[in-house]
């Protein structure tokens, strides 16, 4: 596929992430930090996010199997999970984190478990979308994701 | 070439970052004096983003993962213009860290940062000596005025 076409597709893909509420303006902050010195910053941070949070998800899954639930522990895990989700601009994931925390505070086990299933869904959807995005960006050539220090 | 890049460049996006970055001349905001900062967070992603943001504004930034490490640094004589401390840290929590370093004479600006804003956490952090308390993410809108204040 011709490069210009690829870049246009990439731009549309990226725009859809914002339009459909998967990402918020914090993702733009990541893009702003990408430059010639850090040409793959966005992808690196997102990769780190998925690596770190997979561990957290495992911890939360295990914690949700306890009976009764340790809401304090769950809250602490979610604190960190929301922190990193917020930092990459994962808007829908962040919303589920907030919902989860509300159920934690209310001591609502059923709500926690239900919300966490939804959270994992959103998390997985975003992961697939971002992986496709970065793969296409690599194919389209290195200019795409570097927005800073261009004049 | 420029046209294609403009498709991807987020300058057309709404959202506060455009103003916050002060890109009117195509130049990123940068501090005038030599400023130092310390990021205290045990989450890798948050660490990278906070240090990345501060460094992009020319602030010399270090990062540690625990309150104990901060206390050690201050005890060894290190000084920072700005210290950003996460609320929930493994052993010594954010406010307790702030309290200890203030007691040791640390005078820089302390910014308490958290994931879920909570008024009690805010009170605790401010009482412990933090100057401000915010919810993540650390954004240009918050950081640039702080840097400007420290710069002058």
Candidates B43, B53, B70, B77; CA nearest to B147 is B53
pLDDT at A3: 84
Q: Inform me whether the C-beta atom of residue A58 falls under 8 Å from chain B C-beta atoms.
A: no
Q: How many CB pairs under 8 A join A and B?
A: 102
CA distance A39 to B56: 14
Mutate to test the interface with A, among B2, B3, B7 (most CBs of A within 10 A): B7
Is residue A116 predicted with pLDDT exceeding 90? Answer: yes
The confidence band for A113, taking pLDDT boundaries of 50, 70 and 90, is very high
Question: Chain B 65-84, CB below 8 Å of chain A: which residues?
Answer: none
Least confident of A52-61, A88-97, B26-35: B26-35
pLDDT in the model for residue A143: 59
**pLDDT band (50, 70, 90) for residue A1:** low
Compute the C-alpha angle A78/B89/B84, nearest 5°: 105
Token pair in block for residue B115: 């994931």
Q: Terminus-to-terminus CA distance in chain A, angstroms?
A: 27
Among A6-15, A99-108, B22-31, the minimum mean pLDDT is found in B22-31
Confidence of residue A142 (pLDDT cuts 50, 70, 90): low
> Is ipTM > 0.90 here?
no
In order of their start, the domains of chain A are: 44-134 (1.20.120.160)
Query: Which residue, chain included where needed, has tokens 């201050």?
Result: B74
Residue of B1, B21, B43, B143 for testing the chain A interface, max A β-carbons within 10 Å? B43
Cross-strand bridge partners of residue B132: B111
| A34 interfacial to chain B (CB closer than 8 Å) | no
Check: CB of residue A63 under 8 Å from CB of residue B26. Answer: no
Could you give phi then psi for residue A53, rounded to 5 degrees? -75, -20
| Distance in Å, alpha carbon of A32 to nearest chain B alpha carbon | 9
Run of H or E residues at B134: strand B132-135
- Asked whether residue B11 carries a pLDDT value surpassing 60, the answer given is no
CA–CA gap between residue A86 and residue A80 (Å, rounded) = 10
Q: How far apart are CA B28 and CA B143, in angstroms?
A: 13
Chain B: give the shortest CA distance to residue A67, in Å: 24
Chain A residues lying within 8 Å of B6, measured CB to CB: none
Give strand pairing partners of B147.
Answer: none
- Helix (H, G, I), strand (E, B), or coil: what is residue B111? strand
* Tokens linked to B39: 């990021």
Specify the pLDDT at position B2: 36
DSSP symbol at B138: P
Instruction: Share the mean pLDDT of chain A.
Output: 92
Residue A66 has which token pair? 């306890």
Q: Does the beta-carbon distance from B8 to A10 stay under 8 Å?
A: yes
B26 contacts in chain A (CB < 8 Å): 151
């Amino acid at each position: 596929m011709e490069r210009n076409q690829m870049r246009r597709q990439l731009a549309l893909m990226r725009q859809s992430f914002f339009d459909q509420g998967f990402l918020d303006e914090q993702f733009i902050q990541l893009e702003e930090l990408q430059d010639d010195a850090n040409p793959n910053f966005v992808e690196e941070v997102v990769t780190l996010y998925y690596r770190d949070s997979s561990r957290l998800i495992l911890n939360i899954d295990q914690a949700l199997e306890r009976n009764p639930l340790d809401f304090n522990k769950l809250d602490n895990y979610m604190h960190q999970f929301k922190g990193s989700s917020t930092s990459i601009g994962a808007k829908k994931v962040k919303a589920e984190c907030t919902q989860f925390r509300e159920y934690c505070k209310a001591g609502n086990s059923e709500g926690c478990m239900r919300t966490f299933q939804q959270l994992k869904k959103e998390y997985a959807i975003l992961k697939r979308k971002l992986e496709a995005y970065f793969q296409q960006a690599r194919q389209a050539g290195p200019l795409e994701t570097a927005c800073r220090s261009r004049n | 070439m420029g046209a294609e890049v403009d498709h991807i460049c987020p300058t057309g996006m709404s959202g506060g970052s455009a103003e916050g970055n002060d890109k009117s001349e195509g130049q990123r905001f940068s501090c005038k004096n030599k400023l130092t900062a310390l990021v205290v967070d045990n989450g890798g992603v948050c660490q990278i983003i906070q240090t990345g943001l501060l460094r992009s504004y020319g602030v010399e930034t270090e990062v540690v993962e625990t309150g104990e490490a901060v206390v050690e640094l201050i005890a060894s004589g290190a000084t920072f213009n700005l210290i950003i401390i996460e609320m929930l840290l493994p052993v010594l929590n954010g406010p307790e860290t702030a309290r200890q370093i203030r007691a040791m004479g640390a005078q820089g600006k302390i910014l308490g940062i958290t994931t879920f804003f909570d008024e009690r956490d805010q009170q605790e952090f401010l009482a412990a000596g933090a100057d401000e308390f915010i919810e993540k993410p650390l954004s240009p809108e918050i950081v640039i005025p702080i840097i400007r204040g420290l710069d002058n």
